[in-house]
Structure 1
Amino acid sequence: MIRRKKYNFRKGDIIDVEEFHDGRYGAPGEKRQKRVKPTQEQIRIVNAQNKAKRCRQKMLAYFKMGDILATWTYEVENRPPTMQDALKDFQKAMRYVRREFKKRGYEVFWIRNIEKGTKGAWHIHLVINEIGDTVSITQKAWTKGGTWSIEIKHSKYYDEDFTKLANYMTKDEHTTEKKIDGTRGKPRIAEANYNTSRNMPLPEPKVDKLHRWKAEPKPKKGYYIARIHEGINPVTGYKYRRYTMIRLIPEKVRRGVKRE
């Protein structure tokens, strides 16, 4: 059985779609597969993919390309002894950020990953909404070291469906980079802690049953497909596909003319 999940974000301006074979049944034309207990490594891979997926969807729903990707770094003498201490540092900084956002009449949305490198250095990656002076606020909030900031659209991790940035923000001690020769490098993170603000719920998807697996999806009228990703689920062994459709902007809106 083939299922399709459709998530509507930003009042329908963005539609995120997942298509997959139900793991309880064989693919079309095949017998029902025997249930096989997945390995710990397979479970870890699926969990990592799901974490990145939820991160990407929260970015699609709550962030835009003009928002900020910031990094808080630690001076050597201020490095935290444990992850718990790093969490306290983050929470203290965010209390200042929330207070300043509230003064300006804004709600703060954030996604962060605290990382300890294999050589002992610590830093915090932070995706946060731009309200006009977000960079200044994040700089003043952080007293343990330096602050580096850039608009998401200008970072090397930006793409239309936020895949690159989500993968970057959810990396951990198991994440490795692919070398030029195709082999995997050693992990560069010894410990990581990922989280998001609680004010970013995701809508429930609309679930449909499909009769067959289409060779290539077509965009809904008035939309274009930003990216298509296909792969094999390591637990079920079946194909899956995801793609993001973005509403086409009418020409009169692009030119700054208000809609009637």
Structure 2
Amino acid sequence: MVKREEYSFRKKMIIEIRKHHAGNYGAPGKKRIKKKKPTEEQMRLVNAQNKAMRCRHRLLEYFTPGVCFGTWTYAMGNRPPDMVAALKDFQKAIRKVRAEYKKRGYELFWIRNIERGTKGAWHIHFVVNEIGDTASIMQKAWTKGGTYSVEIRNDPKIYDEDFTKLAAYMTKDEYTREEKKDGTLGKSRLKESSYNTSRNGKTPLNRIVFRY
């Protein structure tokens, strides 16, 4: 049995079609495969892939290649003691950003990932819709350290047309391991992370499923 999923974005300006075979069916003429319980590692991999896909779909729906990608860093003396404090720092800063957008007559959309490295450093990656002076707004809103920002399409490390690279980058966590030049996997660079999106960016996407 083939499962076909069709997603549409930006009022059907973008259509994505995904096809895959149902895992519990064998080849034609073969008996149905007995379902096996996935291992913890397999489940973790599937969950990570699904999270990245949902992030990519948000990017396709609400963002364009010209939007702002950036990072808020912490000065050594301003590092938060835990994730709860880091979340409060982000919430305080993003409220300032939202207020500036509102003054200019725009709605703010954001995606962010708060990350704590294995060596103790904290930073916040963000994607926000561009309104002309977004970089300046993001810089003024953040008082805990530095601000780095760039148009997504100007950073080849995280940009490709369907936002696959950016989605993977924005959803990485303590289990994410980068592939080395020799093909082996390195150690994770993160101790913990917290991924989220703005509430107005959580509208259910158009999805149609066919089975045949």
- The two structures have a TM-score, normalised by structure 2, of 0.96
Of the candidates 202, 209, 212, which is equivalent to residue 211 of structure 2? 209
* SS of corresponding position for 2:206: coil
Which whole-Å CA distance do the structure 1 matches of 2:114 and 2:16 have between them?
28
Task: Give the root-mean-square deviation of aligned CA atoms.
Answer: 1.0
Name structure 1 gaps, 5 residues minimum: 211-260
CA 1:26–1:96: 2 relative to 1, 3 Å: same
* SS of corresponding position for 1:199: helix
Structure-to-structure mapping, 1:62-141, within 5 angstroms: 62-141=62-141
Q: Does the alignment pair 1:184 with 2:170?
A: no
* SS of corresponding position for 1:85: helix
* SS of corresponding position for 1:140: helix
Which whole-Å CA distance do the structure 2 matches of 1:172 and 1:83 have between them?
13
Which whole-Å CA distance do the structure 2 matches of 1:151 and 1:193 have between them?
23
**Greater helix percent: which structure?**
2
Letter in 1 for 2:176: T
CA 1:29–1:158: 2 relative to 1, 3 Å: farther
Which whole-Å CA distance do the structure 1 matches of 2:155 and 2:199 have between them?
25
Q: Does the alignment pair 1:155 with 2:150?
A: no
Aligned residues: 210
Deviation at 1:189, TM superposition (A): 0.5
Which whole-Å CA distance do the structure 2 matches of 1:29 and 1:92 have between them?
60
CA 1:22–1:154: 2 relative to 1, 3 Å: same
Which whole-Å CA distance do the structure 2 matches of 1:30 and 1:100 have between them?
62
- The two structures have a TM-score, normalised by structure 1, of 0.79
* SS of corresponding position for 2:11: helix
Q: Identity, % of aligned pairs?
A: 64
Which whole-Å CA distance do the structure 1 matches of 2:171 and 2:105 have between them?
30
In the other structure, the counterpart of 2:43 is 43
Structure 1 residue ranges, 4+ long, deviating more than 6 angstroms after superposition: none
Q: Is the 8 A contact 1:173 1:190 kept in 2?
A: yes
